């Protein structure tokens, strides 16, 4: 058996086409979704990520209000900009790119964003609503994973899901989404982490394995059963002298070996990553619809 590849780039492109059509319809009603973006400092990875988000907004018709701030910007100035966006009717979603430079309090920034514009899904209000099954903005990467499963025809209801990683950005919220009593949930979820005594015991019985720990090739072929669905969220750099840049990107899963046992698997790169940005766009459109009083 060789796994079918879940192409995150293609899936993201399909969703963006759907969103572009929806935005065009909204604009006919005078509704223009808007995303406010704040980048503090000049971290190369953050700059690249923000640039990709800006291009994606332009591509599908979302208004983008971008602010690039110096790394030495004081907390009060950053918070003032966030508050300004909170009250700007043209802005439906606010993104403050993390990590922030040393000396800035990221928790204060998250708390300072209006939950109605928290399209990252990080504010405690949205997290709490998600946990108890109320309408909320779901964090982009976990939501992207759920969309990948559904759009690939994977049955989530009743599935044994093992999530390797208990982080606040992926592991915990994804577990909460998958156990919800909903069309996108009803799974039986186990969370494994660095203190799990026998990781293989859990992964071998899983119908779906989600790896999200940032450890290269952490999940091997011997750790999964035949026909498993594998979602690899992790991404790491490993040295590779054959590459011009001196390294290559790999996931948490030994892709070449595991794909021979899995039924479906995501590559790294080109898997979950493109879906994360797409779900940010999705949340921004949902926020615009809510602000317009549409029942969503």
Kindly report the CATH number assigned to the domain that includes residue 109. Answer: 3.40.50.10860
In this structure, the answer to whether residues 167 and 251 fall within a common structural domain is: yes
Long-range contacts of 142-145 (CB under 8 A, 24+ apart): 142/170, 142/173, 142/174, 142/177, 143/177, 143/279, 143/282, 143/283, 144/272, 144/275, 144/276, 144/278, 144/279, 145/170, 145/174, 145/210, 145/231, 145/233, 145/272, 145/275
pLDDT at 11 over 90: yes
Mark whether 134 is an active-site residue.
Answer: no
CATH number for the domain harbouring residue 177: 3.40.50.720
Average pLDDT of the residues of the chain? 95
In this structure, the answer to whether residues 205 and 263 fall within a common structural domain is: yes
In this structure, the answer to whether residues 225 and 106 fall within a common structural domain is: no
pLDDT at 296 (0 to 100): 64
In this structure, the answer to whether residues 160 and 261 fall within a common structural domain is: yes
| Residue in 9, 10, 43, 53 annotated catalytic | 53
Q: From CA 48, how far away is CA 42, in angstroms rounded?
A: 10
In this structure, the answer to whether residues 151 and 105 fall within a common structural domain is: no
Q: Which domain holds residue 204?
A: 140-273
85 assigned to some structural domain: yes
In this structure, the answer to whether residues 106 and 205 fall within a common structural domain is: no
In this structure, the answer to whether residues 108 and 158 fall within a common structural domain is: no
97 assigned to some structural domain: yes
Count of domains forming the chain: 2
Q: From CA 101, how far away is CA 115, in angstroms rounded?
A: 23
| Residue in 117, 118, 120, 252 annotated catalytic | 120
| 190 token code pair | 């186990």
Mark whether 10 is an active-site residue.
Answer: no
pLDDT at 295 over 80: no
23 assigned to some structural domain: no
pLDDT at 249 over 70: yes
User: Which residue in 50, 87, 55, 52 sits closest to 67, CA to CA?
Assistant: 50
Count the residues in the chain: 296
In this structure, the answer to whether residues 160 and 259 fall within a common structural domain is: yes
290 assigned to some structural domain: no
In this structure, the answer to whether residues 158 and 107 fall within a common structural domain is: no
User: Which residue in 183, 177, 204 sits closest to 192, CA to CA?
Assistant: 204
In this structure, the answer to whether residues 150 and 80 fall within a common structural domain is: no
Mark whether 97 is an active-site residue.
Answer: yes
Domain boundary among 66, 81, 115: 115
pTM of the model: 0.94
In this structure, the answer to whether residues 147 and 71 fall within a common structural domain is: no
In this structure, the answer to whether residues 178 and 252 fall within a common structural domain is: yes
pLDDT at 115 (0 to 100): 98
| Residue in 20, 27, 75, 97 annotated catalytic | 97
């Amino acid at each position: 058996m060789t796994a079918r590849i879940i192409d995150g780039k293609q899936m993201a492109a399909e969703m963006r086409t759907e969103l572009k059509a929806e935005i065009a319809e909204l604009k006919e009603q005078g509704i223009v979704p808007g995303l406010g973006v704040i980048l503090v400092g000049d971290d190369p990875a953050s700059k690249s990520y923000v640039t990709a988000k800006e291009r994606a907004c332009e591509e599908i018709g979302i208004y983008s209000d971008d602010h690039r701030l110096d790394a030495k910007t004081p907390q009060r100035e950053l918070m003032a900009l966030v508050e300004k966006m909170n009250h700007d009717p043209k802005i439906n979603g606010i993104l403050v790119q993390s990590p922030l430079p040393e000396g800035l309090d990221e928790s204060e920034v998250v708390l300072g964003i209006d939950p109605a514009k928290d399209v990252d899904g990080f504010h405690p209000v949205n997290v709490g609503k998600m946990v108890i099954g109320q309408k909320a903005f779901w964090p982009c990467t976990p939501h992207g994973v759920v969309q990948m499963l559904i759009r690939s025809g994977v049955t989530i209801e009743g599935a044994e899901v093992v999530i390797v990683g208990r982080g606040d950005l992926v592991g915990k919220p994804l577990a909460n989404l998958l156990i919800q009593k909903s069309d996108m949930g009803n799974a039986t979820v186990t969370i494994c982490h660095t203190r799990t005594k026998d990781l293989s015991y859990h992964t071998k019985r899983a119908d779906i394995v989600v790896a999200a720990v940032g450890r290269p090739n952490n999940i091997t072929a011997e750790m999964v059963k035949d026909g498993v669905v594998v979602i690899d969220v992790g991404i790491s750099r490993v040295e590779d002298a054959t590459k011009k840049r001196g390294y290559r990107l790999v996931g948490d899963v030994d892709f070449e070996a595991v794909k021979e046992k899995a039924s479906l698997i995501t590559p790294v790169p080109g898997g979950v990553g493109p879906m994360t940005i797409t779900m940010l766009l999705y949340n921004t459109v949902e926020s615009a619809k809510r602000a317009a009083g549409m029942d969503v």
